[in-house]
Structure 1
Amino acid sequence: MSRRRRAQGAPNASGFGPSPSRRAQIGWRGTALLAAAVAPLYGAHLLFGANQPMAAQALTALCGLILIVGLTVPRLRQALPELKGLWPVAGLFGLVLAVAAVTLGAGPPGAAHPIWEWAGLPPAISVNRSATLLAMSQLLGLAALFVFGALTASQRAWGVRFATVILLGGVLWAAIAVIMFLSGAQIGSWGRLGGGLLSSNSAATMLGILTVLATGWLLQALRESRELAGPDRVSRISFAVAPLALLVFALILTGSRMGTLATLAGVLILGVWQAFAEPGRSWRTLGIAAGVTLIAAVVVGLGNDLVLRRVAALDQDVDVRSVIFAVHWRAFLDAPLWGSGLGSFTDVNSYLMSAETY
């Protein structure tokens, strides 16, 4: 492969992390744009997941602004015609919005929620028209962010840089979450790391995704350092190990059972993927991935009292979740086709919960 082709960010079947040839493609302005796209998302995590209407709408507006600014970059704007494969996804997304719009009215006979008749107001399928409108606008914000991500991914150098910025931003968020947890400044989550999300399981989901990304970064470092001298190789690998160690530590502090299992599964699947992407090294890479996953499972399982205590309480949690499932299954049976409108979960949940099920 010629140097010129390498400079253009030619695909590498097994590549993930940054390499010098790809870094040269994007200046500080491009990196600043990507960082500006990531910062509001991690900031929203620390602000209780932007679960309040005003915060959610502010985040939605920022997502739209990110796409508008991204389209001012010539290389990203020129990639728009290359997104033809997204039309089926766009069609399904439009269908979701169309159904949501239908729920703002009475809909077919018998579909309207009875609360409107009780209140003497015009009928609607949605139990909360305002919440449905807000949810529809938030979906548009997420769609804008999705298109921005698709544009960056269509340019390999931009896509690789974006993945790196996402990972480093996640490491910073995880570090802040750990500091908040250990210092006692965390709100909610009841003795488990929540990262500002008010839900340790949600935090574990984010940390699991970031752990898989960090594992890919480590695999890239191992590949790129094969020909380096001893000290240089150790330095290169250590730079990739440090964020992975922090993310795993934060994941352990969440005490999430399924989050931990899902992360281990994701790392193992990534190892299998990378193994078969490297001809001649398949079984060696696969064996390393399996071994690392097994060691991690043992360390997380046997060295984490929080997870062990929660595993011991699994039967009790199953009973609690069965009650929750029964209540929300009833909500589904009440409106199996049209539902109760986007964004109406809080209203429906409050309506169905009783003193016995709360």
Structure 2
Amino acid sequence: MEGDVVASDVPSSSGRKRRRRSQVSSATSGTRAADLKLSDYAALSAPVLAFTLAHFFGGAAEPTAALWFTALIALLMPAMIILGDRRDELGLIWPGRIVAGLFALVLLVAVWTLVAPARGTSTPWANLNGPGAITWDKSSTLIEIAKLCGLAGLFSLGCLAGGRKRRVAGAVRIILTLGAVWAAVGLLLIIGGASQGLEGLHLTTGGRLTSGFQSANSGATVYGILAVLSVASLARAIRNLRLGRTPKRSLAVGAALACVLLFTTCLMLTASRMGVAATAFAIVALLVWETFSRKERPSRRLILLALAGATAAVFSIGGADLLWSRLENVDSDAATRGVIFSVHWNAFLQSPLFGHGLGSFSAVNAQQMTPENYGALRIIGAAHNVYIQWLEETGVLGALPMFALIVLIIATAIRRSALLDTGATLQRGLIAANLVLLIHGATDYAIQVPSIAAFWAYLLGLQFAYGKARTGKPSA
């Protein structure tokens, strides 16, 4: 995947112009790759290593682990600026007034639920003589506010890396490399039988691959993101071969193909129905977008990618049996999800403006239990729908700014992808990866796992700032 920043990603209306640009890019790609110094790789690796290691330990989902993880993120910002000697690039961190304003509004609503009078509400604080609160769980709300600030820090680190295209390519290589190590270690421990002595790592549950998460569905979300990024990297590597075959370019194709196979195999072993569906949709969307963005015949590249996907399916056949057996339970699981969604949608309607407070799901869930819905609610720790849970916890005034913030970031990334003269395929891959989280988030809670949320925040920062310096346009 070296030499990613080449003109082979440039749609050209003239074969002569394309060859001329290719020659120029071929001469300069080595220089651009060499521009990344050891300090750059260290600065890019630190945040990726942090949330990849957290994947192994339950995603830092426990409150104490989440706070330590957030503290580490907070320390990364000054450390990366000093280590990478990027004090002259601090302007890249600023996302713009609208993005910053929307995030500030989310935090303001969360803080308001801590300090606003509780009179007239149904919270436990309403009948106390002391200071009241709208939120049901003050300590959890404080933790969630701290976690949001940590995610903002990771988003800023992503922006710092995304402002320079060569660093984005380096960051994606590091993400795929460390992700491959994470996936391979989990697989090897299971295959070798060593996982039996490592129950605390949660490598499997119910025969499904989790690789450290408490839920296989959470693992599926991460594997899906990595699979989409691998396909984008494979598409670019294959396209770069048109500049001429070299050992480095051939190695890039092989490495990307290996990642596609590995992550697809792991995804199938999670037996996550919606995780597989969301990933497949994201990859199809990426390939369709890539095809219609090119003014040339994509047949050879698409054939190779299709073969890679077919090979991955063959390699992952071991997980197919469990996946197919779980498809037989779709109706019963959908009925259970329906009960959860209905109960917590009604809970949102009970406090539609400010919600019940960030992190108050468990308290609200216990309050909503009845003999009729006890079976569906008794063991859950999340609503299994990130949109309903955000509405329930923050109300319309907190959820809509957050939803608008995500839409604005992705829309800005899409707009900037059309302005890129090089590296557009990688940007499209980063954008398509969002679909895995957004689609799977409708039926599961992976986005609410701290390490996965951190992963996404970093990817959002990368794609939001990608090409920002080249276009010379201010942020929205």
- Look up the match of 1:132: 141
Quick one: distance in 1 between partners of 2:89 and 2:253? 34
Q: Deviations over 1:79-100 (max 9, x none)?
A: 3334555321111000000000
- Look up the match of 1:312: 328
User: Equivalent residue of 1:42, what SS?
Assistant: helix
Amino acid at match of 1:336: P
User: Equivalent residue of 1:214, what SS?
Assistant: helix
- Look up the match of 2:267: 251
Contact kept in structure 1, 2:124 and 2:136, CA below 8 Å: yes
User: Equivalent residue of 1:79, what SS?
Assistant: helix
1:171 has 2:187 as partner: no
Amino acid at match of 1:51: A
Task: Using the aligned pairs only, state the percent identity.
Answer: 36
- Look up the match of 1:152: 161
Quick one: distance in 1 between partners of 2:188 and 2:367? 38
1:217 has 2:226 as partner: no
1:229-240 matches, within 5 Å, as 235-240=251-256
Amino acid at match of 2:158: G
Give the direction of change, closer, same or farther, for the CA distance of 1:303–1:207 in structure 2 (3 Å limit).
closer
Quick one: distance in 2 between partners of 1:147 and 1:347? 32
- Look up the match of 1:106: 116
Contact kept in structure 2, 1:271 and 1:289, CA below 8 Å: no
Give the direction of change, closer, same or farther, for the CA distance of 1:234–1:348 in structure 2 (3 Å limit).
same
- Look up the match of 2:34: 24
Quick one: distance in 1 between partners of 2:107 and 2:33? 39
- Look up the match of 2:349: 333
Quick one: distance in 2 between partners of 1:316 and 1:100? 36
Using the TM superposition, give the Cα deviation of residue 158 of structure 1 relative to its aligned residue in structure 2, in angstroms. Answer: 1.3
Amino acid at match of 1:127: W
Q: Deviations over 1:242-301 (max 9, x none)?
A: 122111111011001111111111112222233244432346545665676678679868
Task: Give 1:78's match in structure 2, choosing from 71, 88, 106.
Answer: 88
Q: Which has the higher contact order (CA 8 A, sep 6+)?
A: 2
Quick one: distance in 2 between partners of 1:153 and 1:323? 42
Quick one: distance in 1 between partners of 2:318 and 2:83? 50
Quick one: distance in 2 between partners of 1:296 and 1:138? 36
User: Equivalent residue of 1:115, what SS?
Assistant: coil
Q: TM-score, with normalisation over the residues of structure 2?
A: 0.66
1:45 has 2:55 as partner: yes
- Look up the match of 1:206: 222
Give the direction of change, closer, same or farther, for the CA distance of 1:26–1:320 in structure 2 (3 Å limit).
same
Give the direction of change, closer, same or farther, for the CA distance of 1:210–1:232 in structure 2 (3 Å limit).
closer
1:123 has 2:132 as partner: yes
Using the TM superposition, give the Cα deviation of residue 330 of structure 1 relative to its aligned residue in structure 2, in angstroms. Answer: 2.6
User: Equivalent residue of 1:336, what SS?
Assistant: coil
Give the direction of change, closer, same or farther, for the CA distance of 1:30–1:13 in structure 2 (3 Å limit).
same
Give the direction of change, closer, same or farther, for the CA distance of 1:123–1:177 in structure 2 (3 Å limit).
same
Contact kept in structure 1, 2:43 and 2:84, CA below 8 Å: no
Amino acid at match of 2:47: A
Amino acid at match of 1:165: I
Using the TM superposition, give the Cα deviation of residue 228 of structure 1 relative to its aligned residue in structure 2, in angstroms. Answer: 4.6
Contact kept in structure 2, 1:76 and 1:152, CA below 8 Å: no
Task: Give 1:162's match in structure 2, choosing from 150, 165, 171.
Answer: 171
Quick one: distance in 2 between partners of 1:198 and 1:84? 35
**Which of 295-304 and 59-68 deviates more?**
295-304
1:192 has 2:208 as partner: yes
Quick one: distance in 1 between partners of 2:219 and 2:310? 23
Contact kept in structure 2, 1:301 and 1:307, CA below 8 Å: no
Quick one: distance in 1 between partners of 2:319 and 2:205? 21
Q: TM-score, with normalisation over the residues of structure 1?
A: 0.86
Using the TM superposition, give the Cα deviation of residue 67 of structure 1 relative to its aligned residue in structure 2, in angstroms. Answer: 1.1
Amino acid at match of 1:158: R
Give the direction of change, closer, same or farther, for the CA distance of 1:166–1:301 in structure 2 (3 Å limit).
same
- Look up the match of 2:152: 143
Contact kept in structure 2, 1:113 and 1:123, CA below 8 Å: no
Give the direction of change, closer, same or farther, for the CA distance of 1:29–1:247 in structure 2 (3 Å limit).
same
Contact kept in structure 2, 1:14 and 1:274, CA below 8 Å: no
Quick one: distance in 1 between partners of 2:369 and 2:307? 46
**Which of 284-293 and 91-100 deviates more?**
284-293
Contact kept in structure 1, 2:9 and 2:236, CA below 8 Å: no
Contact kept in structure 1, 2:162 and 2:168, CA below 8 Å: yes
Quick one: distance in 2 between partners of 1:154 and 1:57? 29
Contact kept in structure 1, 2:8 and 2:240, CA below 8 Å: no
- Look up the match of 2:70: 60
Contact kept in structure 2, 1:107 and 1:124, CA below 8 Å: yes
Amino acid at match of 2:346: R
User: Equivalent residue of 2:114, what SS?
Assistant: coil
Q: Deviations over 1:29-49 (max 9, x none)?
A: 221222111111011111111
Quick one: distance in 2 between partners of 1:121 and 1:161? 53
Quick one: distance in 2 between partners of 1:286 and 1:121? 65
Quick one: distance in 2 between partners of 1:108 and 1:119? 9
Contact kept in structure 1, 2:56 and 2:213, CA below 8 Å: yes
Amino acid at match of 2:368: L
Quick one: distance in 2 between partners of 1:303 and 1:123? 51
- Look up the match of 1:91: 101
Quick one: distance in 1 between partners of 2:366 and 2:170? 44
Query: Which segments of 5 or more consecutive residues in structure 1 lack a partner in the other structure?
Result: 1-6
Amino acid at match of 1:169: L
Give the direction of change, closer, same or farther, for the CA distance of 1:203–1:74 in structure 2 (3 Å limit).
closer
Contact kept in structure 2, 1:275 and 1:284, CA below 8 Å: no
Quick one: distance in 2 between partners of 1:71 and 1:13? 30
Contact kept in structure 2, 1:167 and 1:214, CA below 8 Å: yes
